[in-house]
Amino acid sequence: MNHVVIGTLAFDSIETPYDKRERAIGGSATYFAHAASKFGPVGLVGVVGQDFPDEVLEDFRGRGIDIEGVEHAEGESFFWAGRYEADWNTRHTLETRLNVFADFDPKLPESYRDADFVFLANGAPAIQRKALDQVRSPRLVVADTMNLWIDIARDELIDLLGRIDGLVLNDEEARMLTGEANLFRAAGKILEMGPKFIVLKKGEHGAFLFGEEHRFALPAYPVDNVVDPTGAGDSFAGGFMGYLAHTASLDPSSQRAAMLYGTVTASFCVEGFSTEEIGLHGRGAVDRRYDALRAFVTP
Amino acid sequence: MNHVVIGTLAFDSIETPYDKRERAIGGSATYFAHAASKFGPVGLVGVVGQDFPDEVLEDFRGRGIDIEGVEHAEGESFFWAGRYEADWNTRHTLETRLNVFADFDPKLPESYRDADFVFLANGAPAIQRKALDQVRSPRLVVADTMNLWIDIARDELIDLLGRIDGLVLNDEEARMLTGEANLFRAAGKILEMGPKFIVLKKGEHGAFLFGEEHRFALPAYPVDNVVDPTGAGDSFAGGFMGYLAHTASLDPSSQRAAMLYGTVTASFCVEGFSTEEIGLHGRGAVDRRYDALRAFVTP
């Protein structure tokens, strides 16, 4: 398995101003793997409880998502409940139950340990490192993080930053990690902490790629009808990594194309609850939207 | 005079979290004309009081800003005082004194009435229309507006929209004008009101161009050190219109280039108070930043 993601499989209960869903299938690795699978196979490392339906994992497998790395544990699966306000940027967490994820100790199947492309989805930096330790000689390691870890596990996170190639985070997290209000200065400071590049997500305002000598800015895809933003960041990461793993190239022009593909997979994600929309579209639809996005942003 | 702007000349007292200025030269037409003058001559229609220094108008003239359309009235010039919060997006108006602008009745010099390119800077729609009535057969008329006019002069604004080619406004104003939260749907509704295109400004998040068949998205130029955002929107419009007036082309690729030039002139504007920075740089510096921006956004 050349491309591997380590993250959560979850049930999400979501309220938006217009609709809601109870216990829909979610989790960072679910969204990432759905997006990445448009480009080729991806191996999934995570844990589910006894309540997670086998049919869902079978459906994953049918999409080219390898589930050998999914551990089955006693108890209930990770559960998250949240509510969005009408601006979509304000999200209230109503409930988080870690359940089987509380004791998650990632174990990569032997066939995953030679992976070239590794994505460490949002999780405790110590667990991210534990997973990374099991990969022999990855070509590209990208990690996600969140304000919680910047707050309570800063040292472990800084330690991890010295071992990864790319970091994905949002504008607020970049400011929090560096204490720098200006995003471009914040990005510069994060590069000094270790990563070769960072992907700075700005939700409906798009994303920036910052490398040592290479910077690229991209707006979000113009979605007329946002249904549920949950998973947009992970779907972005999945399209970004999936494309790079597929082309096996890391040069600046491939990274730019990967940013466009990530933007496209994220746009499908937000058009439905759970994986309803992102699960619906194949590579052809992804490429058509990629072409439209390219036309939308090319000077 | 082929390119004309109608707007304000003002004194601004500005506080930012880091610095402040008392009675600095400002006003929508001042910023617009400074940006537009990088590309060629521009005629300025506005009114000043007895307190407005002649040297400032002489300096304008030296930059290729024609001041024949500047009326001198009894009394004090337009005055605005404002304060910015650390996020730069939150702006508090501390004081507005219309002074001589309260009775402004725009009169275009004969030499301005054959202008092809006309910018109606933010002002009461009735006054914008009065100015427009004096231009014989413009090729491109673009207007700016603000929440105040959407609120208190909606009918006159809607009437004006039927007579202009382009409208410049920010995201909040687009939502307010249409009652539509989604920006892309809001833009579609504004196009139905008359303009052939709209430029949707999103501050630090860049700008969108929406035409009937042509859409283009652009992030802001990555400015490391914002000093004062006052005038950024007018400087954007000045670069946008100045470039189009200079090339005398309105095709999609010229409009895209104009969006980049507007982004560049706005970026110089925010790097200093008043016209300190935007006044400093010539076309060469503008073109260098244009090239950098183009590289930053090209997929």
| Domains, chain A | 3-297 (3.40.1190.20)
The token pair at B206 is 């860049």
Residue B192, pLDDT > 90, answer yes
Q: For residue A203, what pLDDT band results from cuts at 50, 70 and 90?
A: confident
User: Residue B279: left if φ>0, alpha if ψ -120 to 50, beta else—which one?
Assistant: alpha
Cβ atoms within 10 Å of A183's Cβ, excluding its own: 20
pLDDT band at B90 (very low <50, low <70, confident <90, very high): confident
- Asked if pLDDT for residue A125 goes beyond 90, the answer is yes
Which amino acid appears at position A162 of this protein? G
Please report the pLDDT score of residue A23 as a whole number.
97
- What is the phi/psi pair of residue A298, to 5°? -75, 125
Residue B169: pLDDT band (50, 70, 90) is very high
Range B37-42 average pLDDT: 98
Mean pLDDT of B276-288: 96
Closest residue in A to B257 (Cα) is A299
Q: Return the residue in A216, A256, A261 with the most chain B beta carbons within 10 A, the one to mutate for interface testing.
A: A216
For residue B204, give how far its alpha carbon lies from the nearest alpha carbon of chain A (Å): 10
Taking contacts as CB-CB distances below 8 angstroms, the residues of chain A near B217 are 206, 219, 222, 296-297
Name the pLDDT band for B19 (thresholds 50, 70, 90).
Answer: very high
Q: Which residues of A touch B207 (CB under 8 A)?
A: none
Residues from chain B contacting residue A206 (CB–CB below 8 Å): 205-206, 217, 219
Backbone dihedral region for residue A150 (phi beyond 0: left; psi -120 to 50: alpha; all else: beta): alpha
Q: Does the pLDDT value for residue B33 go beyond 90?
A: yes
Mean of all residue pLDDT scores within chain A:
96
Average pLDDT on B92-103 reads 94
The pLDDT-based confidence of B89 (bands split at 50, 70, 90) is confident
Amino acid A181: pLDDT: 87
CB A245 within 8 A of CB A116: yes
Query: In the structure, what pLDDT confidence band is assigned to residue B88 with cuts at 50, 70 and 90?
Result: confident
Decide if B189 touches A, using CB distance below 8 A. no
Residue B132 gets which letter from DSSP? Answer: H
Record the pTM: 0.91
The pair of structure tokens assigned to B79 is 């005055």
pLDDT in tens, A236-279: 999 999 999 999 899 999 999 999 999 999 999 999 999 999 99
Residue closest to A140 by CA, chosen among A45, A28, A244, A261? A244
pLDDT at A143 over 90: yes
Mean pLDDT calculated for residue range B265-292: 97
Q: Region A195-207: what's the mean pLDDT? A: 93
Residues B61-83 have pLDDT tens digits of: 999 999 999 999 999 999 999 99
A152 — pLDDT class (breaks 50, 70, 90) = very high
pLDDT in the model for residue A136: 97
Confidence at residue B87, expressed as pLDDT on a 0 to 100 scale: 82
A215 touching chain B per CB within 8 A: yes
Given CB atoms, is A223 within the 8 Å cutoff of chain B?
A: yes
> B28 with B143: CB under 8 angstroms?
no
Residue A186 CB-half CA count within 13 A: 21
pLDDT in tens, A270-286: 999 999 999 999 999 99
* Burial of A74 (C-beta count, 10 Å sphere; 0-12/13-18/19+): exposed
Per residue in B151-183, is it b (16+ CB within 10 Å) or e — as a string?
A: eebeebbeebbeebbbbbbbbebbbbbbebebb
The pLDDT value recorded for residue B61 is 98
Tell me: pLDDT of B212 over 90.
no
* Angle in degrees, 0-180, between the axes of helices A28-36 and A232-247, rounded to the nearest 10: 40
Residues of chain B neighbouring A17 (CB-CB closer than 8 A): none
CA angle A252, A255, A259 (to 5 degrees): 140
Q: Give the gap in angstroms from C-alpha B104 to the nearest C-alpha of chain A.
A: 39
Interface test mutation site (partner B, options A205, A209, A290, max chain B beta carbons within 10 A): A205
Tell me which DSSP letter residue A180 carries: -
Residue-level pLDDT at B182:
87
For the segment A174-195, the average pLDDT, to the nearest whole number, is 94
pLDDT of residue A212: 85
B223 touches chain A (CB under 8 A): yes
Residues of B in contact with A205 (CB under 8 A): 202, 205-206
Please tell me the predicted confidence (pLDDT) of residue B93.
94
CB contact under 8 A, B299 and A260: yes
Token representation of residue A192: 């000094």
Reported as half-sphere exposure (CB side, CA atoms, 13 A), residue B55 has a value of 1
d(CA B101, CA B127) in angstroms, rounded, equals 11
Q: How many residues does chain A have?
A: 299
Q: What is the mean pLDDT of residues B79-100?
A: 92
Could you identify the residue written with the tokens 């589930």? A67
Surface-to-core class of residue B58, CB atoms within 10 Å of its CB (0-12 exposed, 13-18 middle, 19+ buried): exposed
Mutation site for B-interface testing, chosen from A185, A290, A298 by largest number of B Cβ within 10 Å: A298
**Which residue, A191, A190, A211, is CA-closest to A258?**
A211
Return the pLDDT at A226. 93
CA distance A131 to A113: 10
Does the CB of B215 have a partner CB in chain A at under 8 Å? yes
Query: Greater confidence, B53 or A222?
Result: B53
Measure in Å the smallest separation between the Cα of A206 and chain B Cα atoms. Answer: 8
Supply the pLDDT for residue B133.
98
For residue A88, pLDDT over 90 is answered with no
pLDDT score of B235 more than 90: yes
* Contact assignment for A182 to B226 by CB distance below 8 Å: yes
Of chain B, the percentage scoring pLDDT greater than 90 comes to: 92
A48 - beta bridge partners? A72
